[in-house]
Structure 1
Amino acid sequence: MAEASAQDPVTAGLHPGEGRPGGHRQTSTPQTDRDASADTQADTLADPEAGTAGGQDGSSRAISLLTSLVSQTAVLTALVFYFGWVSTRASFRYFHVDTSLLEFSLVDYMVRGVRLAYPSLLALGLVTFFCVYAHHLVLQHAATAPELVRQWGRGLGLTGIVAVCLGLAVVAALDSGSETEPPWGPLLMVVGFAAIAYGHSLGPQQSPVHGQLWRDTAIVLALLSLFATAASYAEILGRRTAEITLSELHDEPDVVIYSKEDIFPERTPGIKVVELARQKVAGDDAEPLYRYRITGLKMLIRSGSRCFLIPKDWRPKEGSVIILPSDASDLELRMEFRAPAR
């Protein structure tokens, strides 16, 4: 019986407990574990890109995020600089001064732009926040009610077209040639083009290339309208800043100039030029160090190598601005600042 069992061809190649009625099948052995590990390593070697796909996706997302941040920062920087330049030009044009004489740098214009546009930038940030939140809600509805989201897209597109037409009509109606124009027309165009771009992205796309071109064109037109809005608003703020500066001029220090020469041969209203008397020195008349004293001036701004002075009673349509070098040694004069007379 032992010999027959040893030579049984059915059970000769089986492990103990396999192939016998009532026996328990073993599911794992050291040999099978080594075989499975070898198969896993073989699969990894056969597809070396599988292990790096996750890392590449993470790098792509990081590069995309960095590109988006850089582009948004560039647009915001350009907008702030443009706002500062337009508002500064409007302020000093009120005083008949060209901005090229001010010698302002890029940082100067940006600082003035941020100072004036801070409330507007804060409002723009709040609007952007609510738009992002609304976009999140739209994405949630897109998964459950895609047809409803497409209808929203069509409605936004039509609303945007109406807003653009209204903006063009307002711009045409308010184009009176004045120095300051209300920003309502360009602002309506910004809202309109943005609604067209976003509504088109929600609607059905017949051609991806055509859809992308349409959307990009609307975004570019929205950005151009945004710069036009900033220009109109900056003009208004710049002129208002100049008017406030003029109204508060009496609180600024008085400027007194001592000069060896009469630097105002043509008398300007509001400016007094007094010739100083000779001084007695050891019984002889001696020439004073400065022969003339000029009063009635206020400092408008000191920029670069120039000082911009205006009379106390300066008027927008008839006043003049006196430009003197900040280094007065070449003109042999001295400039003093005194408390304003009450």
Structure 2
Amino acid sequence: MTLLTAVLFYFGWASSDAESTALGLQDSLFHLSTSDYLLRSVQALFLPAWVVAGAALAAVGLHRWAADEPRRTAWAARRLRFAWLPPLALLAPYRLHPGLFDLLIPLSAIIGFLLTAYARTRPPPATPEASGTTGLTGTRRRHHQRVWALTVLISVLLLFWAVYAYAGVVGRGRAAETARSMSTKDPAVVVFSKYDLMIRGGGSCYFRVLEKGSAFGFRYSGLRLFHIAGDRVYVVPVRWSPGEGTVWVLEKSDSVRVEYVSGPAGRAEKCE
């Protein structure tokens, strides 16, 4: 459970960092909490979780198939003892597509090391596990434990590498989706303020409030909701893009009121 929580948190942070970088920002600007990182990782990890579950079921089935016939076990063990070598071949074309091979190399290496440990800890087919003296059996058991301990350690390190690579893919995908949906899906934002907040440019609208008795003197529209963290509201102008644009950070207070407008009519608002 501790390892799972660590992986979820790490994935949430890595994907948020990749998303922020793709948007030309920094993850630290949004003050995300531990819960935010965990929640952001759950949805994206559904597919990998199903893949891992399917691979585990396939491994169990193959083990039973090999264990039913000693010759099959011996044949598989001889060929899997060096299963950690083929993933090294992926290092040669790494520069052709670093983003892809950053994910393929650790995943294939994990599989290779697990298969190697499995092959090297199988008992000889012609010798039952219980045969021999007690000292010999204990020595073999300790050797197997060391092999699996080292394999698990290497696999965990490779797992974090794979998680970071996959998080980068997810984060960049989220950033692209954010850029596409800014003017079509995200709610429009209208800001009223007692003081001039100097929100200008990018298609944002600036008005003076002239109604008598109003507690606010300025109104801003042509904005889109970007993010909310506690009392902070992050807004961008309607023509914002990752390569060019400003993110304004507003803190809710008695002098600032933030309204959210949904629907096409609100998003189509123009400065008049």
Q: Which of the residues 128, 131, 154 maps onto 1:221?
A: 154
Residue aligned with 1:318, SS: coil
Aligned residue for 2:190?
256
2:19 is the counterpart of 1:95: no
Question: How many angstroms apart in 1 are the aligned matches of 2:123 and 2:176?
Answer: 49
Aligned residue for 1:140?
68
**CA separation of 1:334/1:304 partners in 2, compared to 1, >3 Å: closer, same or farther?**
closer
Aligned residue for 1:337?
260
Residue aligned with 1:263, SS: coil
Aligned residue for 2:74?
150
Alpha-carbon offset, residue 94 of structure 1 = 2.7
Residue aligned with 1:274, SS: strand
Q: Is the 8 A contact 2:188 2:260 kept in 1?
A: yes
Q: Is the 8 A contact 2:90 2:101 kept in 1?
A: no
Q: Which of the residues 240, 249, 253 maps onto 1:314?
A: 240
Alpha-carbon offset, residue 322 of structure 1 = 1.0
Alpha-carbon offset, residue 246 of structure 1 = 2.1
Question: How many angstroms apart in 1 are the aligned matches of 2:208 and 2:101?
Answer: 48
Higher relative contact order (CA 8 A, sep 6+): 2
Residue aligned with 2:244, SS: coil
2:118 is the counterpart of 1:198: yes
Q: Which of the residues 150, 156, 169 maps onto 1:236?
A: 169
Structure 1: runs of 5 or more not aligned:
1-72, 280-285
Q: Which of the residues 319, 325, 328 maps onto 2:253?
A: 328
TM score, norm. by length of structure 2: 0.81
Question: How many angstroms apart in 2 are the aligned matches of 1:94 and 1:201?
Answer: 45
Alpha-carbon offset, residue 125 of structure 1 = 0.8
Alpha-carbon offset, residue 268 of structure 1 = 3.2
Alpha-carbon offset, residue 255 of structure 1 = 0.8
1:66-121 Cα shifts (integer Å, max 9, x gaps): xxxxxxx3333322222222112222333344333433333322222111111111
Structure 2: runs of 5 or more not aligned:
130-135
Aligned residue for 1:298?
224
Q: Is the 8 A contact 1:274 1:292 kept in 2?
A: yes
What is the letter of the counterpart of residue 312 of structure 1?
Answer: V
Identity %: 25
TM score, norm. by length of structure 1: 0.65
Residue aligned with 1:233, SS: helix
What is the letter of the counterpart of residue 42 of structure 2?
Answer: V
Alpha-carbon offset, residue 172 of structure 1 = 6.1
Q: Is the 8 A contact 1:273 1:294 kept in 2?
A: yes
**CA separation of 1:76/1:133 partners in 2, compared to 1, >3 Å: closer, same or farther?**
farther
Aligned residue for 2:4?
76
Alpha-carbon offset, residue 203 of structure 1 = 5.9
1:147-176 Cα shifts (integer Å, max 9, x gaps): 54233112112233222x12444556655x
Question: How many angstroms apart in 2 are the aligned matches of 1:217 and 1:174?
Answer: 30
Residue aligned with 1:323, SS: strand
Tell me the number of residue pairs that the alignment of Structure 1 and Structure 2 aligns: 251
**CA separation of 1:225/1:203 partners in 2, compared to 1, >3 Å: closer, same or farther?**
farther
Q: Is the 8 A contact 1:272 1:296 kept in 2?
A: yes
What is the letter of the counterpart of residue 336 of structure 1?
Answer: E
Question: How many angstroms apart in 2 are the aligned matches of 1:92 and 1:220?
Answer: 31
